[in-house]
Structure 1
Amino acid sequence: MHPTRRCSVLFGQLCVPGRGKQTTRRTISPALAQTGTRYCHPGVGGGGGGIKGTCAQLNPSGVHGTVSASACPMGGSNSRLFGTLAQSLNSTPLAQPDPYSEESPDQDLDPVLPEADPDQLLRECEEALQRRPARPHRDLVCPSSTEPCHHKHSSTIRVMQWNILAQALGEGKDGFIRCPLEALNWHERKYLILEEILTYRPDILCLQEVDHYYDTFQPIMASLGYHGTFLAKPWSPCLDVEQNNGPDGCALFYRRSRFSLHTTAHLRLSAMMLPTNQVAIVQMLNCRLTGRWLCVAVTHLKARSGWERLRSAQGADLLQSLRSITSRGSSQSEVGSGIVPLVVCGDFNAEPSEDVYRRFSSSPLGLNSAYKLLSSDGQTEPAYTTWKIRPSGESCSTLDYIWYSHEALSVESLLDIPTEEQIGPDRLPSYHYPSDHLSLLCDISFRDDPHRLM
């Protein structure tokens, strides 16, 4: 007997039977609402906009063109707001600096918002998802053992990497022929994304394909105590979709109680000396608990087969920037001498056989891929991090990675990869997986942290 959700009075519909051999029990809480009618945000660099933004068109040079006031109702949302986050979602949008610049913390601070209770928000997500099948359970596993890890030590740093699937692409361009359109509807899909984040509560969250940063993720994460930074693609494919929510891009969040910010670098990746459409965010953080420095980067490289050389060049450009940022130099004199430990998260759109993967694994920065540690020999990546069915056929690939400085950092646990049975015959996305990519998560610690010996 497959488990079913108890139906919520919010929906008044029959619950969908769950799939997968293990499920996560959802509980009932006060009603969680849906964001109001959405409008498109201005384009390049992630211009402003909250719930009441406007639609902006871009000319070929990337400069904002004529602004219209037409609504963008993609996702079928109605006028209700998140119950505990109405004030946050209606807050004044952030003023954005020059997108491709190095910023100081004072230029990149979120507004002070009322503190939200993550447990309450999680319950609200669970209620909003009562008619969907329960999310299959995933264990946190210790690399040195097949046994689940039940406790996270206070000194470890939890990092989540996830391509969450841009809403405009999911509904408008990607052609997931086995995924019902209803499963892609934003007013419920966003709760699946938030539920995953709230379940694991990472200290650092790296996202790709974010096209609802200002109206959803920034206010919610800020209310939960996170600092957020967003960088849009210069020519986002989301803007080709008639009813869109602005450009997609990368977002990086860190927990304010755990880290303080030193610098942020917004990078537009180059290939053969020419700027490309792919970007990266790099932040230098100081751990408040240990006093140690950590450099974190998030990126999303060029997609599709046939672009392997471009991805390799983009990776080389990113590695060069990371080497400069993490090395001792006048621009980093405040962080002390030596190489700063590094974590790089991203959808590389590259299998381990590609040149860009070899560039990262052989880099002088001393990077290792965390998810190799799930294999018996510690040298093999998972069989897949994305599995989708499009009109062109079925694609099962490993494209997403968490790279870390293996001499300075240790991986304590990893979130395991769902089985084929748990994913189901229609693959990703689906009613219980909001994206065509799986989230990756690991707990890391500094190797010379005395807490690790206790």
Structure 2
Amino acid sequence: MYPVRRCSSLIHRDLAALCISSPASAPKHKLYPLSLHCVSRCGVSSTEPITSRPSSSLQVCHLGSSISNVRLFGSMSQSLSSVPLERTHTDVEECDLEQVNPETLLRKCEEVLRTRPPRPHRDFIRTRASAKHNPQIRVMQWNILAQALGEGKDGFVRCPIEALNWAERKYLILEEILTYRPDIVCLQEVDHYYDTFQPVMFSLGYQSSFCPKPRSPCLDVCGNNGPDGCALFFSRDRFRLLHIHHLRLSAVALKTNQVAVVATLQCQVTGQVFCVAVTHLKARSGWETFRGAQGANLLQQLKSILSAQQEEAVPFFVCGDFNAEPCEEVYRHFLNSPLGLDSAYRTLSNDGITEPPFTSWKIRPSGESRSTLDYVWYTRHGFSVDAVLSMPSEEQIGPDRLPSYNYPSDHLSLVCDFSFTQEPHRLM
């Protein structure tokens, strides 16, 4: 067993520096993290099936003074109050946070994680030569494991509870993102959006949108940090937001607890427009038909969004934890969709049509589960797959499987490099 991580005294000093007095309307004995007050929680109710708001309506909040890098690092050592979020709907937010050098923050992560074993080494496997005229888009898909579920409900019997300590596990998550530097990040099971991911990712140059589940299982866990949901992050330098939609998926005409975030983006360099969606379908065996209906509904809503924007030919990505093996109906829905979709990780196989043997590997009281559940779908007419991040070996994962001291989630991240198939029609 590996030793439990202890944060440095510097981190604890930063934690104290980041706490400020509560607003007048709150109990005076409470302290609130500074990063929480930078959040603008305007939005449209998540109970509506489709919501849209153009980027021009984004609200910007100001803290009155810039936040130093030291304080930003310290904000990652914070946890939000155990009180659930006042609202269960959100949209894209911006905060006046000081920008941080990614290399500097990556070194900080490595410092905090110095007594943990290193993450599994993974190489990019190039599938084709990238076009010089067409800048690549790097996309990450990852179910990061909600903190409340990891500690309170999922029952990872071979994972020491110390390995799931949020004070360190969040650094492992951020280290994974910083290592691969994706332009677009699609995350599921995010229950620390406001106090960690939104402010930290914004400081790294990402704009974001978060859609919580209407009835998140995280809320059943004592001491939870609010509902989990899907979060979409994209580089502000690379892309301009045109439209954002929060979807609540349906099955057999019934609204379900699963959601999706869909963004229409425009490349700042080439002017090309595309969509990206992030979703998380219903889990567990016995729900295969239900997942199939959710997937069909998501495809229909995507088609409606493109049609409403008069952009039916716009290419798109759909990233998510589908909780479905390739043999399931929902996989066939996507593969055979008239929208012309393909799964990026099929390019890793010798035949070009086989998915990886696993994207999730865990041990619960019911037994060991080794499954392929996560996918990066893309439109064949719009994108080419230039490279994909390899999957770690069984030896790298280790006998206790995931999560562990050296990997923060029970799902592996998927990372792909794409290029537009069409040459840019104009430069911005």
TM-score higher than 0.5:
yes
| Contact 2:36/2:194, CA 8 A, preserved across alignment | no
Matched, 1:445 2:419: yes
The alignment partner of 2:38 has SS state of: coil
The residue aligned with 1:413 is 387
The residue aligned with 2:101 is 117
The alignment partner of 1:401 has SS state of: strand
Deviation (angstroms), 1:91: 4.3
**How many percent of aligned residue pairs carry the same amino acid?**
60
The AA in structure 2 aligned to 1:332 is Q
Q: How does 1:44-443 map to 2 (within 5 A)?
A: 89=35, 91-100=37-46, 101-105=51-55, 106-107=57-58, 108-143=92-127, 155-327=135-307, 331-333=308-310, 338-443=312-417
The alignment partner of 1:404 has SS state of: strand
Deviation (angstroms), 1:325: 1.7
| Contact 1:159/1:203, CA 8 A, preserved across alignment | yes
Normalising by structure 2, report the TM-score.
0.83
Deviation (angstroms), 1:422: 0.4
The alignment partner of 1:171 has SS state of: helix
The AA in structure 2 aligned to 1:325 is I
The alignment partner of 1:261 has SS state of: strand
Distance 1:391 1:258 in 2: 45
4+ residue runs over 4 A deviation: 7-12, 31-37, 50-54, 67-71, 151-154
CA RMSD of aligned residues (A): 3.0
Distance 2:209 2:374 in 1: 20
The residue aligned with 1:46 is none
Deviation (angstroms), 1:326: 2.4
| Contact 1:258/1:288, CA 8 A, preserved across alignment | yes
The gaps in structure 1 that reach 5 residues or longer are 13-30, 38-49, 55-66, 72-78
- Judged with a 3 Å threshold, the aligned counterparts in structure 2 of structure 1 residues 91 and 154 are, in CA distance, closer, same or farther, namely farther
| Contact 1:11/1:131, CA 8 A, preserved across alignment | no
The alignment of Structure 1 onto Structure 2 pairs a total of residues equal to 382
Deviation (angstroms), 1:448: 1.9
The alignment partner of 2:95 has SS state of: coil
Distance 2:188 2:175 in 1: 17
The alignment partner of 1:352 has SS state of: coil
The alignment partner of 1:229 has SS state of: strand
The AA in structure 2 aligned to 1:104 is P
The gaps in structure 2 that reach 5 residues or longer are 59-91
- Judged with a 3 Å threshold, the aligned counterparts in structure 2 of structure 1 residues 116 and 177 are, in CA distance, closer, same or farther, namely same
| Contact 1:369/1:402, CA 8 A, preserved across alignment | yes
Q: Deviations over 1:119-178 (max 9, x none)?
A: 110000000001100112100111259xxx9x9998000000000000000000000000
| Contact 2:134/2:420, CA 8 A, preserved across alignment | no
The AA in structure 1 aligned to 2:193 is Y
| Contact 1:326/1:341, CA 8 A, preserved across alignment | no
Distance 2:344 2:127 in 1: 9
- Judged with a 3 Å threshold, the aligned counterparts in structure 2 of structure 1 residues 33 and 378 are, in CA distance, closer, same or farther, namely farther
Distance 2:271 2:146 in 1: 36
The residue aligned with 2:77 is none
- Judged with a 3 Å threshold, the aligned counterparts in structure 2 of structure 1 residues 313 and 33 are, in CA distance, closer, same or farther, namely farther
Distance 2:297 2:369 in 1: 28
Deviation (angstroms), 1:449: 2.9
The alignment partner of 2:141 has SS state of: strand
Distance 2:22 2:321 in 1: 29
The alignment partner of 2:352 has SS state of: coil
Q: Deviations over 1:167-190 (max 9, x none)?
A: 000000000000000000000000
